[in-house]
Amino acid sequence: MRVMDEVAKAKPLNDMQRYAALNSMKGFTSLAEITKEAGIKSVIEYMLEDTSALEQYLSAMAAAITLQRKQISHNALILSIFHSEMASLNMYGEEFKSILLDIVERERKIQHRTFIAENSTQINIHSDIWKLYEQHGSILRLKTIDFTKIRSKPLRYEMKYYLQYIFLSRGKISTSLFCCQYMALNTLIETNPSIKYFADITEADARTLVLALEHKAKDDGTPLSQYYIAKAVNSVKRIIEYLMGPLRSGDIKTPRPCLNPFAIITFHNLRQYNTPTTIIPEKVVEQLGRYSNELPPLHRLLYNIFANTGLRLKEVFFLEEDCIEPSRYPGIFQLKFKPHKVLAARRRHSAGDYHRIMIPQNLADELSAHISATRSIRNSVGSSYIFLSERLGYATTVMDSQPFIRSIRHIIKKHNICGDDGELWHFTSRQFRKSIAVRLIENGATTAELAYWLGHLCSDTAAKYYAEVRKMKLAELNTKFFLTKFDLIISNEQLEKYTEEERKLLYADFRLEQRRVELGFCMAKAAGSCQHRSNLYNCVNCRNLCTGKRYLSYWTGLLEQQRIIFERLISAYQADGILHYQEYAEYKQELRLLKGYESIVKAIQEGGVPHE
């Protein structure tokens, strides 16, 4: 029965009900049964007759939730007492509500002190579920390690000892890495059911695992990335290193591996396997800016912060109330933030926890207005973070980023904002950071200036941004550029050997027609004239030749002539009773020439690159 119905039917408890309620409160048990009979309102009125006993009861029930390592909330506490659906906290009366919220906040502070400290009690070899808490801003996040996901019990047993070692040495366990590990172990068992212990894994099993993972897909159907596969394989390799090495627990009662079968498998240049963050095209930026006024006020503020600063998502959502600082320049303010990704490195270098960048006054004013408007929320929970989320029945926490991202994607879909490929632009918050870097580079920022703006402790990453922007500029002088300018088909393979400066010189040579040959233009890098230029067929078969529509009639004529030559050659072979002429050098040469003509004609007609 709902709370609103109970309010209307509230009646005092009779003697028997009072006696039952008293016993339940003294025994710190649920009031669900008496609530079903008398209603929540009547039970609450009885409880308020002795507020001291009520506080003691609520404290004990809250402690019971903590004992189960579940996070406290007023919703969870009410459900544990009444087992009833909660419509609104205001329906329970101001006095009861005040006592309840005070107990919940008191218990939440206890949980913050104890849950992380008690993580070690969860590292139990005999337990299949480990519930571990980590601090995330002003809230706790539960990370569950579920060993039942590993189908083999012996592998599960050895895995527990390895993760126990990781926890004791590092103080935490990565749940994302555990997901890679159990997927790899289950795949090993699928490919070789005879594997019982890690010591049973052979080099053949290791190679088979890599191949099997390359054919696996995520839940959404997309194949596993090479980076993910490398992460899974290397994690299993480290488990075996532990089981082989001196740090192995003496309590493990399984065979010790004699060698590591994954030692033969290495992955190179893993940075290349990560999907690079896409730079937002200028036309997408313009349209997003044009329609950003349709975003909700809070999301519009977040958009302006990302677009003007290039901060990482966590750096924005964990901004604090004193984040705005004056600067020595008129109309310019400083934005103070914690670069969480490099925080440990900053502390090692004594660089301080906070970093500062310049922002325009209009953005500083927007932020200041938001900080003032949300002061009461921060005061109520004792938090300094300016982007907080209040949800009925839940603790006030740092705002979730997904509603903001969904708002941007809604604008993109609504106004059909597309990239250069004509597809709807797929937005992520990381794209702002790369786009800011490109804008700084194009405006002449040095690698040192770029590194400072992005909060890097060295210029290595900034140098990579420079290389990427240079590559973008180089890509502008691409095959499409030459096709548009000269109506010539040039393959990517032909252009790859030219630097940006060389492509500019190539453009000038084409303009001056210094590279003209009989059937188009020559792409050879070597200086001087080609010694075979007078031989038409060497030009035709040369990879340095680029041609276009103006030469189509000539190429069509050559193709027709070659077809006649080829057909006559086959007729001659057949007339002489020769059956296996396909192996003759003469046949292969004429066939190669025919295929070459066909490829070039088709490419010119389709406006693409000749087919191999």
User: What is the mean pLDDT of the segment spanning 16-36?
Assistant: 89
Q: Mention every residue, 6+ apart, whose C-beta is less than 8 A from residue 204.
A: none
Q: What is the pLDDT of residues 306-328, one digit of tens each?
A: 888 888 888 898 999 999 999 88
- Per-residue pLDDT at 540: 64
Handedness of CA 436, 441, 447, 453 (dihedral sign): negative
Mean pLDDT of 567-594: 83
Q: Supply the pLDDT for residue 496.
A: 63
Q: Is 521 helix (H, G, I), strand (E, B) or coil?
A: strand
Higher pLDDT, 513 or 239: 239
- The predicted structure's pLDDT at residue 591: 86
Run of H or E residues at 163 = helix 153-170
pLDDT at 347: 81
pLDDT for the residue numbered 585: 82
Q: What is the mean pLDDT of residues 501-525?
A: 66
Q: For residues 521 and 523, what is the distance between their CA atoms, to the nearest angstrom? A: 7
**Mean pLDDT confidence for 497-504:** 65
Confidence at residue 310, expressed as pLDDT on a 0 to 100 scale: 84
Quick one: tokens of 425? 């632009």
Amino acid at 25: M
Q: Mind giving me the DSSP string for 217-259?
A: B-TTSPBPPHHHHHHHHHHHHHHHHHHHSTTS-TT--SPPPSS
Confidence check: pLDDT of 527 > 50: no
**Residue bearing the bigger pLDDT, 524 or 293:** 293
> What's the whole-number mean pLDDT along residues 534-558?
69
| Whole-number pLDDT of residue 427 | 84
pTM > 0.75: yes or no: no
| Residue 580: alpha-carbon gap to chain centroid | 58
What is residue 335's three-state secondary structure?
strand
The pLDDT of residue 6 = 44
Residue 1's pLDDT is 40
pLDDT band at 407 (very low <50, low <70, confident <90, very high): very high
Give the distance, in angstroms, between the CA of residue 7 and the centroid of all CA atoms in the same chain: 48
The pLDDT > 90 percentage for the chain reads: 26
Whole-number Å distance between alpha carbons of 270 and 553: 49
Give per-residue pLDDT as tens, 249-269: 999 999 999 999 998 887 755
Instruction: Determine what percent of the chain is predicted with pLDDT higher than 70.
Output: 78
Tokens linked to 311: 């901060």
For residue 146, list its beta bridge partners.
Answer: 129
Residue 4 has pLDDT above 90, yes or no: no
Q: pLDDT tens, 49-60?
A: 899 999 999 999
Q: What pLDDT was estimated at residue 611?
A: 42
pLDDT in tens, 93-133: 788 888 988 998 899 889 888 888 888 888 999 999 999 98
| Residue 210: band (very low, low, confident or very high) from pLDDT cuts 50, 70, 90 | confident
* Whether pLDDT at 472 is above 60: no
Position 7 scores a pLDDT of 43
Indicate left, alpha or beta for 172 from its phi (over 0: left) and psi (-120 to 50: alpha).
beta
Q: Residue 348: phi, psi to the nearest 5?
A: -65, -35
Confidence of residue 435 (pLDDT cuts 50, 70, 90): confident
Average pLDDT estimate for 589-605: 81
Residue with tokens 């008129």: 330
Predicted local confidence at residue 544, as pLDDT: 73
The C-alpha angle 300, 302, 306, rounded to 5 degrees, equals 115
Quote the pLDDT of residue 260.
92
DSSP tag of 62: H
- Check residue 488 and give its pLDDT: 63
Element (H, E) at 508: helix 500-511
Q: For residues 524-550, give the mean pLDDT.
A: 61
pLDDT, tens digit, 9 for 90 and up, residues 256-305? 999 999 988 877 555 545 555 666 777 788 888 889 899 999 999 999 99
**Amino acid identity, position 448:** A
d(CA 263, CA 29): 57
